[in-house]
Amino acid sequence: MAEKQQLAIGLDTGSRWTRCVICAIDGDAVRYLGHGQAAAGGWAKGRLADPAALAESIHDAVKQAEDQAGVQAEWVTAGVGGPSIHGANSRGVYEFGRPRTIDHDDLAYAVQLASKVRLEDDRLLLHVWPQDFTIDGRAGYQKPRNAVGSRLEANVHVITGSYQDHQCLVAAIHQAHLAVEETVYEPVAAAYACVSPEDRKKGVAVLDIGLHSADLVIYDGDSMLLATSLPVWADHLTRDVAWVLKVSYDDSECLKTEYGCAMLGLTADNSLIEVPSAEGRPSREARRRELNEILEARAEELFLYLKAELQRVGMEQHLLEGLVITGGGTLLNGMCDMAERVLNCQARNGLPEGIYKWPDELADPQWTTVAGLAMYSGRLKLGQKVKRRPGTGPRGLMGLVMR
């Protein structure tokens, strides 16, 4: 009897769209099979308010992907994000009592000690990412196996989320008749699809801009230095335009997408654009510059928040690979230009890479996160060493990757 094909399935439950990608594992590679997209439901200002509506959206997106791939989905790797996600550094100390050779189990135990942080009520441990190790006071070891010492310290970055929000998302996926293999912080997943290990070693930041969240991770030397959420996201830009130009939210979104730019001088700012009016009133004209001034102010605020986070971890002058932007926020023209002006480093849109036979029509930053979720699922199945977290999926994977 032929062996059942192993699948790697990513599920991105965004505030605007729910996306699913189904891939197959061929040897040590991940191959694209199908994708689906459905209008999101159940979200209210970035919080899940109606799990049943989200479950219906998930069902529709997964069904599209299943029909295209010709397979049936059972387990999915889902993305999580938003302001409830927090990251913090932690340290674990393992005293041997006498000098001896350090092996892999010693490293894993030291990381386990570092991950035993005291969580507040309603907090869930999502990921533990090793940064480096210290042996007998000598810091900076990346892979100190076979080194000799009597005291081992592990420095890690711990990512936590809201337990209630996490369980609501898992419950909605279960209502869609799917099981959760793993939940992954969305910019971490996006980094899997658009940032190479060499880029992470040189220093890179990944910013996933969604409708109601702007999630950030910063890497240096292949270690995660920071995971956090910024207080400005795509919805703020749309609402600013609606408030200042006195138009509806939907009309504001259309104006932003069609005529908007995050930085003055990149478009014909003196040209006139047609601005819709309320029903029963004729439309009016406004200078495109007025629209772009609104968007520029808010986009600059977003990247100033990001700059403050870079300064907090001492990376403002060390992003040799710059900033990578993913998510629906990349649809606004000029976002990379504004990022370069504020951060003084290169910036680019993050496109999904690394999946065999990935279709050209999905070479879009909006599909990067879900592609990364599928790649993360594939990596788990390809035998990477990952620590277990009970209660999340079939193996309860925690995302502790020993590099």
- Report the C-alpha gap between 176 and 53 in whole angstroms: 10
C-alpha count within 13 angstroms, C-beta hemisphere, residue 196: 6
Tokens read off for 41 = 């439901």
- Report the C-alpha gap between 172 and 58 in whole angstroms: 8
pLDDT at residue 1, as a whole number? 39
pLDDT at residue 118, as a whole number? 85
Beta strands in 250-304, from DSSP E residues, in sequence order: 272-275, 284-287
Contacts of 275 (CB under 8 A, 6+ apart): 245, 247, 251, 255, 283, 284, 285, 286
State the Cα torsion 85-91-92-97 to the nearest 10°. 180
State the Cα torsion 372-378-380-383 to the nearest 10°. -140
pLDDT at residue 274, as a whole number? 92
pLDDT at residue 393, as a whole number? 34
DSSP 8-state assignment for residue 356? B
How many helices (DSSP H) and strands (DSSP E) are in the chain?
10, 20
DSSP 8-state assignment for residue 314? T
Q: Which residues of 112-142 are buried (b: 16+ CB within 10 A; e: fewer)?
A: bbbbebeeeeebbbbbbbbbbbbbeeeeebe
pLDDT at residue 3, as a whole number? 61
147 by DSSP, 3-state: which?
Answer: coil
Contacts within 8 Å (CB) and 24+ apart, 133-138: 133/107, 135/102
Question: Residue 226 forms beta bridges with which residues?
Answer: 218
Do residues 83 and 47 touch, judged by C-beta distance below 8 A? no
Beta strands in 148-213, from DSSP E residues, in sequence order: 148-162, 179-185, 204-209
DSSP run (H or E) holding 29: strand 29-39
| Distance spanning both ends of the chain, measured CA to CA | 36
Do residues 306 and 215 touch, judged by C-beta distance below 8 A? no
79 by DSSP, 3-state: which?
Answer: strand
- Report the C-alpha gap between 213 and 198 in whole angstroms: 27
For 238, other C-beta atoms within 10 Å of its C-beta total 24
pLDDT truncated to tens, each residue of the chain (403 aa)? 346 789 999 999 999 999 999 999 998 899 999 999 999 999 988 889 999 999 999 999 999 999 999 999 999 999 999 999 999 999 999 999 899 999 999 999 999 999 988 888 889 999 999 999 999 999 889 889 899 999 999 999 999 999 999 999 999 999 999 999 999 999 999 999 999 999 998 999 999 999 999 999 999 987 899 999 999 999 999 999 999 999 999 999 999 999 999 999 998 888 999 998 887 788 889 999 999 999 999 999 999 999 999 999 999 999 999 999 999 999 999 999 999 999 999 999 999 999 999 999 999 999 999 999 999 999 988 865 333 333 333 333 333 333 3
DSSP 8-state assignment for residue 340? H
Angle between helices 368-381 and 186-194 (to 10 degrees): 80
pLDDT at residue 401, as a whole number? 37
Look up the pTM and report it: 0.91
C-alpha count within 13 angstroms, C-beta hemisphere, residue 133: 28
Contacts of 283 (CB under 8 A, 6+ apart): 274, 275, 276, 277
Q: Could you tell me the domains of the chain?
A: 7-83+163-194+352-401 (3.30.420.40), 86-161 (3.30.1490.110), 196-349 (3.30.420.40)
Helix %, strand %, coil % for the chain, to 5?
A: 35, 35, 30
DSSP 8-state assignment for residue 231? S
Rounded to the nearest 5°, which phi and psi values hold at 376?
-60, -45
